[in-house]
Each structure stands twice: as C-alpha cells, then as structure tokens.
Homo-oligomer: A and B are copies of this chain.
C-alpha cells in the first residue's frame, strides 16, 4: 500500500486481500499439485514459494520453465484478485534469467505496476534461496467488473477515509 493510504483503509484492504486468498486457496488444486505455499498477500501483492522436486525436472535436468512460470502465475493471481473483483490473467511476458535446480526453494513476489479500469500490469520476480533472480514475469490482468470473489466484502481499491498529513 502507498504511504498515502489512511491506516483504517489499509487495514480493511489487507483484510479483504486475505479473505480473497482464503476463498481461492481451497480449490486451487494446481498450486497444491506443485506444493506451493501462499506465504503472504496484500492489496495488489502476493508472495508464493515452491521447492523444485524431482518430478518437476525436464530433459535437460533443470526445473521445467513452465512450472517456474506456474509459480509466478499463482503469485500473480493472488495479487490481482486481492481487491475482491474476479480477475483473470490476459497474458504475460517471461524472461528466464537462470535455471532452477533440484531442491531449490523458489520465491515469487508479485507487485502492482499499474491498474486502471479493467486492466492491470503486475511484476513478478522469482528468486532462489540465495536471492539470485531466476525469472522476470510481467503479467497483464483483466477484471470482471462488479463480480466479487467474496460476497458481502467491498470490491475494488478501498478509499473511504481521507488521509491527514501530520
């Protein structure tokens, strides 16, 4: 959240983000298949981890790039749905910076670059356990306006309170 958000709004936005994660996670079979863990969510942000297993390797004996992409895409999904409006990936651009190997613990961190109307742009960076970059993923989101993930919670960015500068 920007420092210009009122603390009460920030707290509610965080509560909504966590509720959307709780709504999505039980049915997120694909992310579970790959042993992922959603370790943090916030408004427009998410952090997800995955350990490279033997059954994730390809014919070059490194982690299949598609599965690293799946990790990044999961972080993207939790970040862009955190405003409680159903949002899907329209596409993404991926740069594979370094190979991931058996046993590597990968962390994908999603942040919001831009969001206006129905479309958004998110940056997801995947690093390994040494903090070395593995992948740069830039995702494009498309929001179904007026369709909440969790009924009864606010939809969209929360701006209720005016922030007073001290």
Map CB proximity to B onto A74-100 as digits: 1 under 8 Å, 0 otherwise. Answer: 100100000000101111111111110
* Cβ contacts under 8 Å, A26 to chain B: 59
Q: Which residues of chain A (43-90) have a CB below 8 Å from chain B?
A: 54-61, 63-67, 69-74, 77, 86, 88-90
| Total number of A residues with any Cβ neighbor in B under 8 Å | 55
In the assembled complex, the Cα of A27 lies from the Cα of B28 at a distance in Å of 28
* CB of A29 closer than 8 Å to a CB of B: yes
Identify 13 new A-B residue pairs, CB closer than 8 A, beyond the known A29-B57, A65-B89. A27-B57, A29-B55, A29-B56, A30-B55, A58-B77, A64-B70, A88-B96, A91-B93, A92-B94, A93-B93, A97-B113, A121-B136, A140-B140
* Cβ contacts under 8 Å, A77 to chain B: 58-59
Cross-chain pairs A/B with CB under 8 angstroms, 11 sampled: A24-B59, A29-B55, A30-B55, A64-B73, A66-B66, A70-B70, A90-B119, A94-B94, A113-B133, A114-B133, A140-B140
CB distance from A10 to the nearest CB of B (A): 22
* Chain copies in the assembled complex: 4
Residue contact A142 to B119, C-beta cutoff 8 Å: yes
Q: Which residues of A contact B (CB under 8 A)?
A: 23-33, 54-61, 63-67, 69-74, 77, 86, 88-99, 113-114, 116, 118-119, 121, 133, 136, 138, 140, 142
In the assembled complex, the Cα of A93 lies from the Cα of B90 at a distance in Å of 11
CB distance from A67 to the nearest CB of B (A): 6
Which residue on B lies nearest to A25, using beta carbons? Answer: B59
